[in-house]
Homo-oligomer: A and B are copies of this chain.
């Protein structure tokens, strides 16, 4: 058996990726396996390993795409012009709702993105970090109007803090390790965090007064 000319390497790589995604979307993370992907594209299991070093490498590529889609999704959020403090809160709520909608429509891919732990403990590739960074820049934009003369690193520090906090609430709720204790949706808890966090930022040295 050899070059079947059916597909170029790049095509094949894309087919594998698409099939992997279809499996995850259709049946959850546990449905993803090399053998199932191979069967889906009509190749032998070994072929997968000619194009991806291992399953984790395939998942990493898939997660990169999910990250990109999430960014595109959030970027579409129309943020209001900020004339007063409350507008920042409303903008962040819009982003939150966008995020929750994305999760609703892509639950399995989202779980794969954040819960999967690669067996190999190496650092993530640079392109991956860049996509995470793009995501965080969306929050940067929403927070920036609150400050004047703030260092971009300091702004990012705040965005990361808020982002990771919201992520914690949503992912604990998703794992049902939160819902039972408090009879509230993750939206409400996130909303409370946003409001409290923003209010707390009033103590920040670069915080700008209310108007314009």
Q: Which residues of A contact B (CB under 8 A)?
A: 30, 114-115, 117, 119, 123-124, 129, 132-133, 136, 156-158, 160-161, 164-169, 171-173, 175-178, 180-182, 184, 189, 192-193, 195-204
Q: How many copies does the complex hold?
A: 2
Minimal Cβ-Cβ distance residue in B for A203? B199
Minimal Cβ-Cβ distance residue in B for A167? B168
> Could you show 6 A-B contacts with beta carbons less than 8 Å apart?
A123-B180, A156-B182, A164-B189, A165-B165, A195-B203, A196-B197
* Complex contacts, A157 vs chain B, CB 8 Å: 182, 184, 189, 192
Q: Is the CB of A189 within 8 A of B172?
A: no
* Complex contacts, A167 vs chain B, CB 8 Å: 168, 172
Residue of B119, B158, B160, B178 near A178 (CB, 8 A) is B160
**Nearest Cβ on chain B to A54's Cβ, whole angstroms:** 15
Minimal Cβ-Cβ distance residue in B for A30? B119
* Complex contacts, A199 vs chain B, CB 8 Å: 199-203
* Complex contacts, A165 vs chain B, CB 8 Å: 164-166, 168-169, 193
* Complex contacts, A129 vs chain B, CB 8 Å: 180-181
